[in-house]
């Protein structure tokens, strides 16, 4: 493809290593849902996804959209790819955020918007499975287990809505231009999830993890009364740090708080 000057303000780092593109493709389960991609880049992953199934792709950069239509015109005319020039974060957040029926999301997400996009995908019950690449540090937070140092509010939300799993790392040399950090690909299986968005629970988690190194009881005391006695009732140590409490226990604390206070 002809030379293209990357735009730093859009966080553009294009995955050029075919071996890692192939690993991403192999990580996508065979499911009877619409396949969706956010960010087509130079089309390397997009054309491989289109070989697998018809694809609905979103891209914010009009120049990349023009290049794709020029170099992959057959994918457009054959309707293997439906290309939508759109900033997905400007689409109203609702059930069926990116597609009106159930879908699988695959994306090499720009680092600066990765977390808000993934949170929207978790909240959208129409999204049944996601395979995404992010900065490794972000991936670790979504996939961390209780008692691991990376375990945080994002970990709890990921486990609430589905089953997160780290898949593999991608070195910076696999990109053009090369970012300064390592990336990771992870998936979240939401197929069996019945969870629904609860903004109060998300706010509760922000309070619980507001000072990760402090005791959970001290963090929660800022917003709720008699937390120490509640933790004792739920058999949670009063000196437990936020990362030492499980997702199930967080739901129990939350349910008791909004039942009793």
Is residue 209 predicted with pLDDT exceeding 80? yes
CATH 3.40.1280.10 fits 8-189, yes or no: no
Q: Where in the chain is the domain with CATH 3.40.50.150?
A: 8-189
User: How many C-beta atoms surround the C-beta of residue 236 within 10 A?
Assistant: 20
Is residue 223 predicted with pLDDT exceeding 90? no
pLDDT for res 11? 67
Is residue 261 predicted with pLDDT exceeding 50? no
Beta strands (DSSP E) in 44-124 are 55-59, 81-85, 103-108
pLDDT for res 14? 85
Say which CATH topology domain 199-260 has.
Answer: Helicase, Ruva Protein; domain 3 (1.10.8)
pLDDT for res 259? 73
| Mean local confidence (pLDDT), 216-225 | 92
- pLDDT above 70 covers a percentage of the chain that reads 96
pLDDT tens digit sequence for 32-70: 999 999 999 999 999 999 999 999 999 999 999 999 999
Q: Where in the chain is the domain with CATH 1.10.8.100?
A: 199-260
Cα dist from 59 to 32, 36, 63, 139, 178, whole Å: 24, 11, 10, 22, 21
């Amino acid at each position: 493809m002809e030379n293209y000057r990357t735009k730093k303000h859009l966080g553009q780092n294009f995955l050029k290593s075919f071996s890692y593109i192939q690993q991403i493709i192999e990580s996508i389960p065979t499911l009877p849902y619409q396949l969706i991609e956010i960010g087509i880049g130079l089309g390397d992953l997009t054309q491989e996804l289109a070989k697998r199934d018809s694809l609905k792709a979103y891209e914010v950069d009009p120049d990349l959209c023009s290049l794709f239509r020029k170099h992959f015109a057959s994918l457009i005319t054959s309707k293997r790819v439906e290309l939508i020039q759109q900033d997905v974060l400007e689409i109203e957040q609702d059930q069926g955020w990116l597609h009106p029926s159930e879908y699988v999301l695959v994306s090499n997400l720009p680092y600066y918007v990765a977390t808000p996009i993934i949170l929207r995908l978790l909240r959208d019950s129409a999204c049944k499975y996601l395979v995404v690449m992010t900065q490794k540090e972000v991936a670790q937070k979504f996939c961390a287990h209780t008692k691991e140092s990376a375990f945080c509010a994002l970990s709890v939300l990921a486990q609430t809505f589905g089953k997160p799993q780290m898949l593999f790392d991608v070195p910076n040399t696999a990109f053009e231009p090369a970012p300064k950090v390592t990336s990771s690909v992870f998936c979240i299986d939401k197929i069996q999830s019945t969870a629904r968005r609860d903004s109060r629970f998300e706010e509760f988690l922000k309070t619980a993890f507001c000072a990760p190194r402090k005791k959970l009881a001290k963090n929660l005391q800022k917003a709720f009364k008699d937390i120490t006695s509640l933790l004792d009732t739920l058999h949670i140590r009063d000196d437990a740090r936020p990362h030492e409490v499980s997702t199930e226990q967080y739901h129990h604390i939350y349910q008791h708080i909004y039942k009793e206070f």
